[in-house]
Amino acid sequence: EAQVTQNPRYLITVTGKKLTVTCSQNMNHEYMSWYRQDPGLGLRQIYYSMNVEVTDKGDVPEGYKVSRKEKRNFPLILESPSPNQTSLYFCASSQDRRNYGYTFGSGTRLTVV
């Protein structure tokens, strides 16, 4: 089944403890992206990647890192999480720049205490 898989689905962590949220897609998509969703602020893009080894900042990149060493994986790294990074995170992938829809993962609900 074609899908975007995020792990974990739920995570509670403490301030400053490095964590990684994994994202993997099995559709051979070039484009991948991370979003966070917060009440009243909607979905905001954190980082995106147009292909292997090509990443760029979205609208809210501060406090996050990403890597794209292989096509299928696009992990989101929080080096030193803070409570304001408590959010619902979504990974998404797409085959083409403009003429293809993004497929989203099921989300990761992160709580930083």
Partner 1 sequence: DAKTTQPPSMDCAEGRAANLPCNHSTISGNEYVYWYRQIHSQGPQYIIHGLKNNETNEMASLIITEDRKSSTLILPHATLRDTAVYYCIVRSGSRLTFGEGTQLTVNP
39 sits near partner 1 (criterion: CB under 8 A): no
Question: Hey, what are 17's tokens?
Answer: 């403890």
Nearer to partner 1, 24 or 33 (CB): 33
- Distances 29 to 17, 62, 89 between C-alpha atoms, Å: 31, 26, 19
Q: How far is the CB of 72 from partner 1 (least distance, A)?
A: 17
106 sits near partner 1 (criterion: CB under 8 A): yes
Q: Kindly identify the residues of this chain, within the stretch 64-93, that bind partner 1 according to CB under 8 A.
A: 88, 90, 92
Nearer to partner 1, 79 or 96 (CB): 96
The rounded distance, in Å, linking the Cα atoms of 37 and 63 is 15
Q: Kindly identify the residues of this chain, within the stretch 3-22, that bind partner 1 according to CB under 8 A.
A: 4
The rounded distance, in Å, linking the Cα atoms of 48 and 69 is 13
Helix %, strand %, coil % for the chain, to 5?
5, 50, 45
Interface residue list for partner 1 (CB under 8 A):
4, 31, 33, 35, 37, 42-45, 48, 50, 58-59, 88, 90, 92, 94, 97-99, 101-107, 109
